[in-house]
Amino acid sequence: MKKLFGKPESLTTVNHKYCPGCGHGIVHRLIAEVIDELGVREKTIGIAPVGCAVFAYDYWNFDVTEASHGRPPAVATGIKRVLPDRVVFTYQGDGDLAAIGMAETIHAANRGENITVIFINNAIYGMTTGQMAPTSLLGMKTTTTPFGREAKIAGYPIKVSELLVTLEGTTYLARGAVDSAKHVLEAKKAIKKAFEIQLSGKGYSLVEILSQCPPNWKMSVPESLEYVRKEMMTQFPLGVIKDKTGMTV
């Protein structure tokens, strides 16, 4: 018998601390599979964020460093410039990447750093238990928008991938989701493509993944999947937002 599906080598056997149904675990596995498939586990350095995925270094079976909240792009820049032939990626939440880390995100993208950014957009601050994120939808009730997010007070959900489009340094920008097996497989393709771009030295790639956070959305898992499909995907349409390499996924 052959193992068709199972834990990739680039994952450790440590159990996740994520809530039931959380998308983080799925994306961790996708990254690990891609790294295995590309055969780069032994030359990969990952950067874990401050967010629910802060313990990601325990889950990946390759070198991983922590970074302070919002600064993974700067840390990645430091690593990649020193070791240009290694594979360097950041894994960041929407608070990390688009709130406190917005300047670092834009500038690493603009410099066209030859790194890959995996961006988990769950429209909420998961780890700190449910505050508004820059990507929270209008009207969304969070612990810091108890009356729903109102644009006048708290601004609009930021479309990060679209925002980065105008920067010449960005090579590949795509958005996926992990609400269904179909989307999971598509997301994996985008992630793989992003890493391939890095391996061929073509510059900055970012894959945004819409991800469910049932407890902080105050929803059951099925409800949260519906929310991803009905609400999130309307605001954040799936697909390739930019591809300078001209290839399609």
Partner 1 sequence: MKQLMKGSAALGEGAIQAGGGAYFGYPITPQNELTEYMSRRMLEERRVFIQAESELAAINMVFGASVAGARAMTSSSSPGVSLKQEGISYMAGCELPGLIVNVQRGGPGLGNISGSQADYFQAVRGGGHGDYQVIVLTPASVQEMYEMPSMAFSLSEKYRTPALILTDGILAQMQEPMELVKINAARSGDQSWILDGCKGRAPRKIRSLLMEEGALEAHNRHLQKKYIEIKNKEQRYQLINEQAEIMLVAYGVSARVCYTAVQEANRKGLKVGLLRPITVWPFPEKIIQELVPQVKAFLVIELSAGQMVEDVNLAVNGKTPVYFYGRAGGACVTPEEVIKEIGKI
Partner 2 sequence: MREELIIAGFGGQGIMFTGTLLSQAAMMEGKFVTYFPSYGAEVRGGTAHCSVTIADTSIGSPVITHPDSLLILNKPSLGRFGPRLKKGGLLVLNSTLIEDETSIGGGQVVRLPATDIAEKIGQITVANIVALGKYLALRKIVSQESVGQALEVLLAKKKKELIEVNKKALLAGYEYK
Partner 3 sequence: MPKIIIAQSKCKGCELCILACSKKNIRLSQKMNKKGFHYVEIIDPDNCNACGLCFQVCPEVAIEIWK
Ligand X SMILES: Cc1ncc(C[n+]2csc(CCOP(=O)(O)OP(=O)(O)O)c2C)c(N)n1
- For ligand SF4, the binding residue among 91, 216, 236, 242 (CB under 6 A) is 216
Residue reference for tokens 């989701």: 177
- For a copy of itself, the binding residue among 3, 152, 182, 230 (CB under 8 A) is 152
- For ligand X, the binding residue among 34, 59, 91, 94 (CB under 6 A) is 94
- Indicate which of partner 3, Mg ion, partner 1, none lies near residue 57 (CB less than 5 to 8 Å, by partner kind): partner 1
Q: What is residue 122's three-state secondary structure?
A: coil
Nearest CA-CA partner of 119 in 92, 101, 88, 99: 92
Token pair recorded at residue 10: 């680039």
- Residue 144 burial class via C-beta count within 10 angstroms: exposed 0-12, middle 13-18, buried 19 and up: middle
- Indicate which of Mg ion, partner 2, partner 1, none lies near residue 18 (CB less than 5 to 8 Å, by partner kind): partner 2
Rounded Cα gap, residues 121 and 155, in angstroms: 17
CA 137 from centroid of its chain's CA atoms: 18
Question: Among residues 128 and 245, whose Cβ is nearest to ligand SF4?
Answer: 128
Question: How many chain residues interact with a copy of itself (CB under 8 A)?
Answer: 26
- For partner 2, the binding residue among 12, 65, 110, 128 (CB under 8 A) is 128
Residue type, 186: E
Bridge-partner residues for 45, per DSSP? Answer: 63, 88
Rule CB under 8 A: say whether 144 interacts with partner 1: yes
- For a copy of itself, the binding residue among 15, 166, 234, 248 (CB under 8 A) is 166
Binding site for ligand X (CB under 6 A): 50-53, 69, 93-96, 120, 122, 124-128, 133
